[in-house]
A and B are shown apart, each in its own frame.
Chain A
């Protein structure tokens, strides 16, 4: 297998591995679920997934724990006051960027 063939196959394999978990539930689960338990689980899943994606990854994403912690605090505070999502992101990035010169 040449290097080029290998790389092309890699793209195809990765595309499949990214598409399958997305397409299977959306095509196979066509009916409304009525189980109260499953509905409750599905209600909480999005919050759980987003929280698990965010913590603790957010503390390390800037490569500096102090700027990241302050950035997290800023985002939490602004979100608490229901600021628009884009604004929360922009202000937090600006704070982290500014703090980058301090720490």
Chain B
């Protein structure tokens, strides 16, 4: 009883910090790309502050430069972001009980690949305060990094920038490998999903599909396959 536990929000802040740094690097690149395409610093910062998604924003830039219609833009970005459907669904099951609609509406805005990865793999049920703690610094990192990149346009040597682009994938690897060591089924799921993803990347015709759709199909196929072969008993921690 005497043990004083730190608040979930503070724990979240700490756990979100590595993501913040990764976001700074990626959004910096985004800011540079946007400026080079002739977008103002205000525009790219606004886009980052309201979208908070890398792949969607990068493809959005391309499409806006090409002057596509708003409907095309909507569907393309929605499809790229459709992987969030799966992540949010997963989070909805992990979320603590009795979370009101306002909190749900608010926290949804911050579901990104990385924030999902950290919060979904946290122990026990997910507290909204912990989730928002994790999301805080990455949000500002993402927005601020965009602004900085747009303004200074190339202060980091390009060689360091390209090297930093591997950071996010390394974080994903660091998340999925330790559980794969413990559970064969998880290992098989990762192997299968990675292999399928490569198939969808290299095979003619299939590779023309949008990246968002590919992620959905590949992850669903692998997860369903593993769910049939290695079902989880209810109540098992996830």
* Real binding pair: yes
Give A contacts to B, CB under 8 Å: 6-7, 9-27, 29-30, 32-34, 36-37, 39-58, 61-64, 67-68, 71-72, 75-76, 78-80, 82-86, 88-90, 92-94, 96-97, 100-101
Q: Which residues of A contact B82 (CB under 8 A)?
A: 21
- What residue in chain B is nearest A86 (Cβ atoms)? B18
Q: How distant is the Cα of A25 from the Cα of B162 in the complex, in angstroms?
A: 35
Q: Which residues of A contact B201 (CB under 8 A)?
A: 56
- What residue in chain B is nearest A10 (Cβ atoms)? B64
A48 to B189, Cβ gap below 8 A?
yes
Q: How distant is the Cα of A58 from the Cα of B173 in the complex, in angstroms?
A: 10
Most buried by B among A9, A10, A14: A14
A21 to B81, Cβ gap below 8 A?
yes
* Chain B interface size range: 35 or more
Contact of B172 among A15, A42, A50, A84 (CB under 8 A): A50
Q: How distant is the Cα of A13 from the Cα of B81 in the complex, in angstroms?
A: 13
Residues A43 and B70 in contact in the complex (CB < 8 Å), given A51-B189, A62-B166, A79-B178: no
B163 to A23, Cβ gap below 8 A?
no
Q: Which residues of B contact A96 (CB under 8 A)?
A: 162-163, 166
Residues A54 and B173 in contact in the complex (CB < 8 Å), given A14-B51, A22-B84, A26-B107: yes
Contact of B176 among A26, A33, A41, A50 (CB under 8 A): A50
Residues A14 and B73 in contact in the complex (CB < 8 Å), given A44-B186, A58-B166, A89-B18: yes
Q: Tell me if B111 is interfacial: C-beta within 8 Å of chain A.
A: yes
Q: Tell me if B77 is interfacial: C-beta within 8 Å of chain A.
A: yes
- What residue in chain A is nearest B222 (Cβ atoms)? A48
What are the interface flags for B135-172 relative to A under an 8 Å C-beta threshold, 1 for contact and 0 otherwise? Answer: 00000000000000000000000011011111111111
Tell me the minimal C-beta distance from B237 to chain A in angstroms.
9
